[in-house]
Chains A and B, each alone.
Chain A
């Protein structure tokens, strides 16, 4: 699919970068003129995906998180969050609401549920020791709506 615009950046898996990732995504999306609600949905979904990479993917050793944001035709926003961390053994189980492997850190197990309900499409590709790639899409409402 044609890419109208794209931003791609890499950051170390430091929790402070969860906020940095949201800020960069917000700035990039200004050109698409999303509604307050749409921007808030995307920011929240990005925050969940990056947090998963920090908390779970790089739980044992730090590494890099790669974030890609694309503006596609028909006002579709594409987001990819990729890590090369420990990966997920059972993706289906990980996506179940309230499932968490980090209750001691008060992780609610709702990260994927938030991504799923705030975005139109969510895809999770993962393999143990290979890492996890989360891709999400959301179509913004027609301009002027």
Chain B
């Protein structure tokens, strides 16, 4: 599991790679929250392009970060999910809350 965050002028991109399950969602959650709380970006896009597996733990991860971003006055987006990740996203109905590009 790897996370690479770049931030410029209040807009940030967090590129994730590896597998998202219950086991490694904890670490991702901690790292993303640390970043959101310290930097308070206006916009955070989580790039799923490098994610090779995701179960419903990823939905919890997105919902939680979306809520925290909102509380900090920002917006969360999801970028580049692979087709199999899109299916989990679709099933959850999360696209009603979070923009997926």
Contact = CB atoms under 8 A, between A and B. Distances in A.
Interface string B50-92: 0001111101110110000000000000000001100110011
Nearest to B20: A47
Contact of B21 (A40, A51, A105, A107): A51
A48 B63 contact: no
Main secondary structure of the interface of A (DSSP, over half): helix
A113 B61 contact: no
Interface residues of A, number: 26
B25 interface: yes
Contacts of B55: 44, 47-48, 51, 111, 114
- Counting chain B CB atoms within 10 Å of each CB, the highest count among A41, A107, A108 belongs to A108
B84 A51 contact: no
B19 A106 contact: no
Contacts of B64: 106
A43 B20 CA distance: 12
Interface string A40-61: 1101100110010011000000
Interface residues of B, number: 23
Interface in B26-61: 29, 53-57, 59-61
A37 interface: yes
Given A51-B55, A106-B60, A110-B91, A40 B25 contact: no
Given A107-B56, A113-B91, A114-B55, 19 more contacts: A18-B21, A18-B22, A22-B21, A40-B53, A44-B84, A47-B53, A48-B56, A51-B22, A51-B55, A105-B60, A106-B57, A106-B60, A106-B63, A106-B64, A108-B56, A108-B57, A108-B63, A113-B56, A117-B91
22 contacts: A15-B22, A15-B23, A16-B23, A18-B21, A19-B19, A19-B21, A19-B23, A19-B24, A22-B19, A37-B83, A40-B53, A44-B55, A47-B21, A47-B53, A48-B56, A54-B22, A105-B60, A107-B57, A107-B60, A110-B92, A113-B56, A118-B87
